[in-house]
Every structure is written in C-alpha cells, then in structure tokens.
C-alpha cells in the first residue's frame, strides 16, 4: 500500500514537471512567434515548429502519465480539460503548419495554449478524481470506456479547429478593413492575404464541423449507454445543438450559395462565441454535464 502511494506521488510529480517543461516551451514559442512576425522573418518557421513540437511531446507524456495514474482518460475535471484542450490546440496547429506557413497564426494560438496550460498547472487536484455521476458509467463496459473518451476528444478537437476558424475570421476582417481604407501598414504587411485567411478558415470550419458532428453523435450514444436516455434537455446539450446548427448553416450556404469572405468570417466569429457559451456558460447552469 505504501509502495503504491509512493508510485502515485512520483507519477504526479513527473506529470507536473513535464507539464511545466511544456509550458516553458510554449511560452518561448509564443515570444519567438512574435519576433518572427515583427521582423517578417521567412526562415525561422522550422525553429518555431521544433520548439512547439518539443513542448507537445512533453505535454503528451504528461497526459499519458496522468492517464496511467488516475486510471481513466484525463478529460473529466476542469484541470484535466484545460490541459487537454491546450494539447489539442497544439496538435491541430502542428498539423495545419505542415500545409500552411502563416506567421500571424502562432502569435495568437500559442499565447492561448500557454494560458490553458498554466490554468491546468494552477488548478488544484480535485478531492475526488471522478464525479459521482461518472462513477461506474465510464468503467461499466468496454463500449462505454471507448465512447466517453471518444466523445470528449472529438468535441475538444472540434473546438481547436473552431479556434483557428475564429482567428482566421478576425484576420480576414482586419485585412479587409486595411484594404478598403487603403492603409497598408504593419497589420496589412504581416497578416496573410484574404484568400489565405478564407481558405484556412474554411478548411478548419469543415474539419471542426465533422468532428463536432461525430462528438454529438457519440455523446448521444454514451447517454443511452449510461441510463437509456438519448437526450436530457441539459443546458450543455441544448447549446451544443445550437452550435452545431450555426456551423451547419454556415457550411450549407458556403457550399450551396457560394458564401465566402466577410460574411463567413463574421458568422465564424459568432459561431465561436456560441462555442464559448457552450463550454463555459452552460457549465454555470448546472445540469447533466457538470463535469469537465
């Protein structure tokens, strides 16, 4: 029993150290990305990717140790979710950077990752690692063990994609304003072209919508596996459905009516505000989704 306690303590310390290393690398990466943007350097991208990639490896190891220590996929309480969403944002950014080399994107993404990782480190470990409502529900059977982590992972990765969509929407509106005002200053020179903003935003919107759809479906299945009900009229469920319908609306008119540019950028910003309300606001209302 004493040996088991020592192993758990060592695992927790290792996880914390790895998360601190990731935090440090993310912070350095954030400052480095600002320097790259300010100097308009075209040859420093690999160094930034190496920094962020090293942080991502340390972060992945920390999540793996936490998973082994807790005995469940660490996406239940705010501490775990804050860490996981930072990890998901970095994962999505690294994948996107293979195709798109946009200097302005990491200057917004990486500070956000730093904040989420810092929150995870500052939040105390909950007295009870698993909420009562999830006791037995996650470990009930093999199907449920797979569905619950899949549900939360898909939703969080959809949020990561929508963050990029939101950032691209903001950059598009800034660039458009600079062009209309014929003010070709620092912002115009450092932000990507309108077509690039639109292309990255649409690609992230499409990926996020698919992931959110799968996340909603797996959530409904998990509901049924837990208590035989597909829908609970929970505030978070309702807000998630509203979010899904907003992005469905954008996708539909993008594909059928050829909506592009400013209109899609504005709607993407609105959609992301609803995402924030779904993730943070619905939690304050209580209900079925009191975890995470």
**Ranges under pLDDT 50 in the chain:** 132
Angle ∠(70,114,172) on CA atoms, nearest 5? 125
Q: Which helix (H) or strand (E) holds 12?
A: helix 2-39
Residues 6+ apart with CB under 8 A from 20: 121
Copy the structure tokens of residue 256: 């059928």
- The string of pLDDT tens digits covering residues 171-195 is 999 888 888 877 766 666 788 888 8
pTM for the predicted model, two decimal places: 0.87
Q: What are phi and psi of 124, to 5 degrees?
A: -75, 155
Task: Calculate the average pLDDT of the chain.
Answer: 83
Q: What are phi and psi of 4, to 5 degrees?
A: -60, -40
Torsion over CA of 135, 136, 139 and 143, rounded to 10 degrees?
-120
Copy the structure tokens of residue 102: 């946009």
């Amino acid at each position: 029993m004493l040996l088991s306690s020592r192993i758990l303590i060592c695992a927790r310390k290792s996880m914390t150290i790895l998360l601190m290393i990731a935090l440090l690398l993310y912070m350095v990466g954030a400052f480095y990305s600002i320097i790259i943007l300010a100097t308009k350097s075209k040859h420093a991208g690999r160094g930034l990717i190496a920094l962020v990639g090293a942080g991502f490896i340390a972060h992945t190891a920390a999540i793996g140790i936490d998973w082994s220590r807790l005995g469940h996929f660490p996406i239940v309480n705010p501490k775990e979710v804050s860490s996981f969403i930072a990890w998901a944002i970095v994962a999505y950014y690294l994948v996107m950077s293979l195709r798109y080399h946009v200097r302005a994107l990491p200057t917004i993404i990486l500070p956000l990752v730093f904040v989420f990782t810092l929150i995870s480190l500052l939040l105390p470990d909950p007295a009870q690692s698993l909420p009562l409502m999830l006791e037995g529900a996650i470990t009930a059977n093999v199907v449920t063990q797979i569905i619950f982590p899949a549900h939360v992972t898909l939703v969080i990765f959809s949020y990561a994609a929508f963050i990029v969509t939101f950032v691209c929407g903001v950059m598009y509106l800034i660039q458009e304003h600079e062009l209309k005002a014929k003010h070709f200053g620092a912002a115009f020179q450092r932000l990507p072209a309108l077509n690039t903003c639109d292309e990255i935003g649409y690609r992230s919107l499409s990926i996020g919508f698919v992931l959110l759809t799968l996340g909603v479906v797996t959530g409904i299945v998990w509901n049924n596996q837990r208590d035989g009900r597909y829908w609970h009229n929970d505030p978070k469920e309702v807000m998630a459905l509203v979010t899904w319908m907003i992005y469905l609306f954008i996708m539909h008119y993008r594909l059928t009516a050829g909506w592009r540019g400013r209109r899609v950028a504005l709607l993407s910003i609105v959609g992301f505000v609803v995402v924030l309300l779904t993730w943070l606001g619905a939690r304050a209302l209580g209900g079925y989704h009191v975890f995470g």
